[in-house]
Amino acid sequence: MTDIGGKPCRIESDDNYLEHIKGIFEPHMVALFDTLVKPTDTVLDVGANIGCTTILFGGRAQRVVSFEPSPTTFAFLRRNVDAAGLRNVTLENVGLGKSPGRFELTSSVDNRSGGFVSNKMQASKDHRIEAIEIAQGDSFLKARGIERVDFIKIDVEGFERDVIEGLRETIAASRPVVTLELNHWCLNVLQRTSVPDFLDFLRGVFPYLYAVDPHDIRNLNDPSEAYHVMFRHVAGGFQYQNLVGAFEAGQLKRFSEAFGRPIA
């Protein structure tokens, strides 16, 4: 059994992820999500993997729509969500991006959570390669009748900009809180972009943008703090690996209280 936000859950996978977390799903991420997700929220889980975040959100939010493009990983996602007995979760075996089409997803055979869209990079031969479908984000949500989104989690190994660009209309209309991963290796090697360029893009979308470490947050609209984050992330061993974007200070009230830092 795996503890997900205080709930014991039966989770299955065929990689080493469950061994890595040692029976407790990422407490620092649970704590972060608990400052941002509300019981009335509609949540998008983009890059749901085997379902730990989806199950957490299913117990915290009103509605969850989860996206996992890998057919084999999706089978574990469905099995794990079904075992959790959640009725407010919809599972979609598709990825989201700015352009629809067929792509390849590459992952290590012992790490499903590290799968990346590999249209720009070919990995070594000992990796698993699967054909996947990417849907244009806004169009897909409209086709499913999803008109309002309150919170979006994106964990797609460097493909985050494509996801956000595909959801531009949804984000502009709903003004959700968004969490996403900062991973300079994936950005640089897989997407051929830099951390400063990626942060500049995000600043153009979110008026409030913060980098998160387990015990610290930094304002990425402050040049000095942004430099600190970039240095610690690139040269200091992947610190500040999570980002939070928002449109109003009120959306971050519990977040700011948790880290003891007022946000105006």
pLDDT digits (tens, 9 = 90+) for 80-89: 999 999 999 9
- pLDDT on residue 20: 78
Whether residue 52 contacts residue 11, with contact meaning beta carbons closer than 8 Å, is answered with yes
Mean pLDDT over each residue of the chain, to the nearest integer? 92
Mean pLDDT, rounded, for 95-115 = 76
CATH topology of domain 2-259: Rossmann fold (3.40.50)
Mean pLDDT, rounded, for 233-257 = 97
Whether residue 90 contacts residue 23, with contact meaning beta carbons closer than 8 Å, is answered with no
Among residues 202, 217, 207, 227, which one has the least CA distance to residue 255? 217
- pLDDT on residue 17: 79
- pLDDT on residue 190: 82
CB contact set of 76 (below 8 Å; sequence gap of 6+)? 12, 13, 14, 50, 51, 112
pLDDT digits (tens, 9 = 90+) for 3-43: 999 999 999 988 777 777 888 999 999 999 999 999 999 99
pTM score of the predicted model: 0.94
pLDDT digits (tens, 9 = 90+) for 167-193: 999 999 999 999 999 999 889 988 899
pLDDT digits (tens, 9 = 90+) for 205-215: 999 999 999 99
Mean pLDDT, rounded, for 103-128 = 62
- pLDDT-derived band of residue 122, with 50, 70 and 90 as boundaries? low
Whether the per-residue pLDDT at 249 is higher than 60: the answer is yes
